[in-house]
Chain A
């Protein structure tokens, strides 16, 4: 067992992990942060996306031990300080960017990383960025709209619905 220490959603946490323990398992099982979801075993679906030192990472591709000393942000830490939804979360609700909710944490975390990198992405750029996040419910339409809206862009200008 290896002792790991990291800052998760602003709080210092530590735990003893096996060498094979994935960051996703550490967050879910050890820290009880079950908002990070496991949707596949090949790092394709993106339901487990978190931020490690500010970078979007599929937490099933990283060992917990590798995140020792890192700053990790998960979906549970995204809301505003007063508990209200942040801009991206609110846009997802306003534009019906989620249905069953399972892919949603990964989508929100990926969207946050995208907008940090590219504050005014085009529709095509949003779609390309979401290559690593699979949603089976929404057909992506409203997710794309939500991310565009969260970036302050004119959503009605997108194709008619």
Chain B
């Protein structure tokens, strides 16, 4: 029987009530007293030298309170990259400064070079129009090959457009080359992992405020990790002491990676608030989101897979160019390297992997982690080339994968790409996928489609990902400039209810519901008396935020550790109350009992005693019942899955329709299956979107052609089928207390190759020898491929 409370229960979300009644509070909903408005002047050219900026006319416009340009920020720090990557030759990556406002040059369309603060947003917008910027347009660096071969530099001071040239694992390079040279069969595939715009439905927004009497700043902002934003602003950009800066991320309307990063607008509204002594609000419009939110993916890869005569994998070798855009966003250097290259062994026992990644500056928006971050790129390359190999060798694609899977008795398994997988059972996932997807019934469905004049294809995929990136000691060695732990405080109030302060931030993930399920289970109490506090640095000890499917595995583990401390202390208090040794006290269903007796006190009575410590052993136990824990994981977690997709292709138009989509995932233990299923659904839609409709297009001048919902195709309801999702095959994570692995990104990682594999299968079934089509697999591309195929 499914549980109705605690761990494993599909509890409906408590946060839904405010969202369903229009009473959520997103950043743009907040109105502070005497609030003013910021609007940015943004470059309309992709690359140019700023000769002069005349703000005099703008400053004289009605309602204008201040105008800022890059000149005002030359003395403050740049927004840094969070991960240092060394090139193959040992040279550290190139790190040009990313200023608050562009200075000297503008480097992408949308790059902000000035900002107006005015009484109303309309006045600020009108005044931006009056700024006279003399910008000498330079040729734009857009194509990555041109960027690497030319002498037109995005950042003149580094005299190259190559950020780094990274090899992984460098010591395996020669052996991998030899394995490929001598292999029975080598399958080669060149592919593009298309550039995407995350498109959280809430545009970014920030409100800076400043209290002159105390020197305290407050930033309300659309962030997935308010503490990280505070740290970046304090330690690197504006130098505001951390204890003088509160960062509040209230309700946040989705992130998908794009709200991890600190952006210049946040620093601007804080600096402006100090100058004016009034709050300053900025809210992006959707075009600004397209132009300035960190984009995702944008890899061009050549992958080779070497196989022996039996179909055993001998080596993967990849050569990738990764676009980082005009500036290094905070995780932009980690995403194509340690979140990508380390996954390049997939679910397989392949003995050799070599990955080369060249990161390239271009005159485009910065590119950084987007749902999956490096792992979708790895999975796409691996799972597309395996599919191509299966076809070349006339092998069943499922059998070829099974033949090379890591087997359940091989854990812990040291992958050829340098990770240690702790748990998994890929065959069991594939078995379940075959059942749920009704693979046996495919041929019947194919015939039915053919009878309608449509081509039906079946695509399969197996993925592994690494979540909850850790431990800090390891990532430090690899170049991370931050720790990757998380923190939680459990505060038991005198009247027995609880506030749990967590460093993770919920912007759709349902933490307010799921975290209480964990604490309630441990304490044996009603989850309804437990409240989650998140998103405010003044209320929470610390936190590294929510991204990389880490919240439950890392922050949830901190919650467990803090709750364990609560139990330990509560047992001492109960022991005193019951005149027994704390070692004889047991906790069950919210009641502390002395083993072997009928003496007991309730959790609520212990809480009250902690705060009203009459007849209390103050020499042994402090009053109060509040504990904090920081948790730094021992390893990544390794979710995995087996996915299947069936598409119908209309040979007359090239239109692809996803008819069936099956996702079978191993997320380890599950706290709330309803929320987990929802997370998978969302990831699937983003992955299908990438595969079929989404694309970010810059022209040769660096103009973003897809800068609105009129031009960038978002997946709509009628692009999606009902999904079949299963996560009952979990193998618990072996190294965190909940045995959980993370589920946020899986759908976006597993689905793109599954869909493309299905499209290729459909075209092959129609007698067209099409071996690859780049995403998005649009009708035009499918139709072209069919016309050009043998």
Chain A interface residues (CB < 8 Å from chain B): 18, 20, 28, 32-42, 44-45, 47, 74-76, 78-79, 85, 89, 92-94, 96, 98-105, 108, 123-124, 126-128, 130-131, 133-144, 158-161
Contacts and interface: CB of A to CB of B under 8 A. Distances in A.
B710 A42 contact: yes
B82 interface: no
Contacts of A158: 722
B722 A161 contact: yes
Contacts of B349: none
A76 B725 CA distance: 34
B293 interface: no
Contact of A100 (B253, B287, B686, B714): B253
Interface stretch (B387-395, B504-512, B777-785): B504-512
Interface in B231-282: 251-254, 256
Contacts of B200: 100, 102, 136
B718 A131 contact: yes
Nearest to A32: B31
A135 to B, nearest CB: 7
Contacts of B682: 99, 136-139
The 5 closest A-B pairs by CB, nearest first: A35-B22, A101-B19, A102-B253, A139-B685, A159-B722
14 contacts: A34-B26, A35-B21, A35-B22, A41-B287, A42-B708, A74-B22, A85-B20, A93-B20, A100-B200, A100-B201, A126-B717, A136-B200, A140-B717, A140-B720
B721 interface: yes
B716 interface: yes
A33 B709 CA distance: 25
B294 to A, nearest CB: 15
Nearest to A102: B253
Contacts of B717: 126-128, 130-131, 133, 135, 140, 143-144
A29 B708 CA distance: 24
Given A34-B22, A101-B19, A141 B722 contact: yes
B6 interface: no
A100 B12 CA distance: 14
Interface string B756-776: 000000000000000000000
A92 B587 CA distance: 37
Q: Of residues B201, B252, B253, B682, which shows the largest number of chain A Cβ atoms within 10 Å of its Cβ?
A: B201
Interface size of B as a range = 35 or more
A18 B120 CA distance: 13
A87 B677 CA distance: 23
A141 B201 contact: no
Contacts of A35: 21-24
A41 B714 contact: no
A145 B203 CA distance: 27
Nearest to B684: A139
A45 B684 CA distance: 20
Contacts of A98: 16, 19-20
A114 to B, nearest CB: 11
Which of B674, B718, B724 has the most A CB atoms < 10 Å from its CB?
A: B718
B13 A93 contact: yes
A138 B12 CA distance: 15
Contact of B26 (A102, A124, A135): A102
A161 B202 CA distance: 28
A159 B724 contact: yes
A128 B719 CA distance: 9
A41 B678 CA distance: 28
A119 B42 CA distance: 48
Contacts of B677: 96, 161
A128 B202 contact: no
A139 B681 contact: yes
A134 B15 contact: no
Contact of A139 (B25, B203, B708, B720): B720
Interface string B699-720: 0000000001110001111101
A105 B17 CA distance: 11
B285 interface: yes
B29 interface: yes
B22 A102 contact: no
Name the residue among A18, A139, A142 with the largest chain B CB count within 10 angstroms. Answer: A139
B675 interface: yes
Contact of A136 (B21, B256, B674, B720): B256
Interface in B479-532: 507-510
Q: Which of B201, B507, B717 has the most CB of A within 10 A?
A: B717
B28 interface: yes
Contacts of B685: 136, 138-140
Interface in B286-320: 286-287
Given A100-B202, A100-B507, A127 B12 contact: no
A101 B24 contact: yes
Given A93-B12, A96-B674, A136-B254, A44 B709 contact: yes
Nearest to B506: A100
A42 B711 CA distance: 10
A76 B716 contact: no
Contacts of A78: 20-22
B202 A39 contact: yes
B716 A93 contact: no
A33 B678 CA distance: 28
Given A37-B253, A130-B716, A101 B15 contact: yes
Nearest to A76: B22
Contacts of B508: 99-101, 137
Nearest to B285: A41
A121 B165 CA distance: 55
A92 B722 CA distance: 16
B436 interface: yes
A128 B718 contact: yes
Nearest to A145: B722
A95 to B, nearest CB: 9
A159 to B, nearest CB: 3
A93 B253 CA distance: 17
Contacts of A34: 22, 25-26, 28-29
A8 to B, nearest CB: 12
B95 to A, nearest CB: 32
Most A Cβ at <10 Å: residue of B199, B678, B685, B714: B678
B22 A33 contact: yes
A39 to B, nearest CB: 5
B723 interface: yes
A41 B708 contact: yes
Nearest to B286: A40
A13 B13 CA distance: 34
Contacts of B202: 37, 39, 100, 102
Given A99-B510, A101-B508, A127-B720, A40 B708 contact: yes
Contacts of A96: 12-13, 674-675, 677-678
B722 A123 contact: yes
A40 B675 CA distance: 27
Contact of B725 (A39, A89, A161): A161
A33 B24 CA distance: 11
Interface in B662-677: 674-675, 677
Interface string B186-222: 0000000000000111110000000000000000000
Nearest to B14: A93
A108 B22 CA distance: 10
A113 B742 CA distance: 37
Nearest to A93: B16
Listed residue (A40, A74, A124, A135) with the most chain B CB atoms within 10 angstroms of its CB = A40
Nearest to B12: A93
A100 B24 CA distance: 10
Contact of B286 (A28, A42, A99): A42
A94 B12 contact: yes
Contacts of B13: 93, 96
Contacts of A92: 16, 20
Contact of A161 (B12, B252, B287, B723): B723
Contacts of B723: 139, 141, 159, 161
Contacts of B24: 35, 101
